[in-house]
Amino acid sequence: PLLVPRVLYPRAVRGGGWDKSAEDCRSAAKEGSTEDWIAQDPQVPVSIWYLTDALHVGFRVVRPLVEPSQEEKEKFWEYSEPIQKERPIPLDR
């Protein structure tokens, strides 16, 4: 479900980064953001890139070792819960 954050820090970052070991590159591996991250990349001027020098945060693409059958793909691809929308809540610092 979609949850609206109630605080600005920490925000969960999952999956490790470029400098992490293989066992830390999974969705269960997580850490919390800090206000220091904004000092590192204040987004002034605003750009599509963020935290460009933060090797502890990365992006991973994963795939199964063996390609699933078409039936299995459709079973999981078509499954999703409806988005839960809530009214915006002001963030506490």
Can you point out the beta strands (E) in the chain? Answer: 12-14, 30-32
Give dist(CA 73, CA 33) in Å, integer. 34
Torsion angle (degrees, nearest 10) of CA 36, 13, 6, 53: 30
Delimit the domains of the chain by residue range. 1-93
| Residue 26 pLDDT greater than 70, yes or no | yes
* Number of helices followed by number of strands (H, E) in the chain: 2, 2
Model pTM greater than 0.85?
A: no
| Residue 93 pLDDT greater than 60, yes or no | no
